[in-house]
Amino acid sequence: MSGLLGASVSIAAKTGPDLPSVNDFLPNDILFQGTPFALNRIILIRILAVLVLMVVLGITAMRAKLIPGRWQSAIEWLLDFVANNIVYQVMGKLRGERYVPMITTVFLTIFAFNICEIIPGLNMPATATITMPLMFAAWCFVQYWIAGIREKGLWKYLKEELFPAGVPIPIYILLTPIQLVELLLIRPLSLTIRLFANMMAGHIILALCLAASQWFLIDTANKMWMPVGALTFGAGFIMTLFEAFVDALQAFIFAILTTAYINMSYPELD
């Protein structure tokens, strides 16, 4: 019996920890399997994050007072930050008032989705599959086209975007296709890939640290690996704090780039 136990420990020590992979971002369906309404873990996290966000903001709005308490002050500071430091900073107040609700929704929702990766029991960013970042980018795409067409008309908008003033005519042969690709693909894809890649990469690194810590400290019977486990656990703790910062940073970057792309569709201010 002791021989079999020793062999199993030896095999476990050789196989190493069960490391995460890209397949962890494609979980199996949990509810309504085999139907068009099938829900997997990531979709459930998205639904839960949206519900929590709506409840928090709704209760705060219903209990709002003229002299705010600490909680209301924190929420109002967050909303003012988006309006003043993102929207008005890029577009100005006259143009920006139209887009404050949209950019606030983008910022808060992306942050709520991102922060789920460090919440125990969830442990997965809801933006770690490309679908959700792509949907936010498509919203930005539609908005800057609407802004350009509304302010300039379709032909003038395309003319200014595809044929910038002051460029020699022969250069348009090269420049116009590049401008068209930027307008149709590069802008939305830059938003999509930046958010998706950062969240997936950060979550994999964090999961690697924690998976290695569990194996070195708990799963393996060889105590010589415990100092290594302590190091990976410390790295995991630091990565958790770093990922919380990245979660907020990526929401900020997505929101400010969305604002900038929409503002580029407007005529330049004199």
- The pLDDT assigned to 6 comes to 39
- The pLDDT assigned to 224 comes to 75
Residue 3 lies in a domain: no
Residue 4 lies in a domain: no
Residue 19 lies in a domain: yes
Residue 2 lies in a domain: no
Residue 74 is part of which domain span?
15-264
Q: Is 161 exposed, middle or buried (0-12, 13-18, 19+ CB in 10 A)?
A: middle
- The pLDDT assigned to 193 comes to 92
Other residues' Cβ atoms within 10 Å of the Cβ of residue 258? 27
| 100 half-sphere exposure, CB direction, 13 A CA radius | 17
Task: Calculate Rg over the CA atoms of the chain.
Answer: 24
Other residues' Cβ atoms within 10 Å of the Cβ of residue 126? 26
- The pLDDT assigned to 7 comes to 35
- The pLDDT assigned to 20 comes to 59
Residues in the chain where the model's pLDDT stays below 70: 1-27, 32, 219, 221-222, 269-270
Other residues' Cβ atoms within 10 Å of the Cβ of residue 147? 20
Number of domains in the chain: 1
- The pLDDT assigned to 4 comes to 31
Residue 129 lies in a domain: yes
Model-level pTM? 0.83
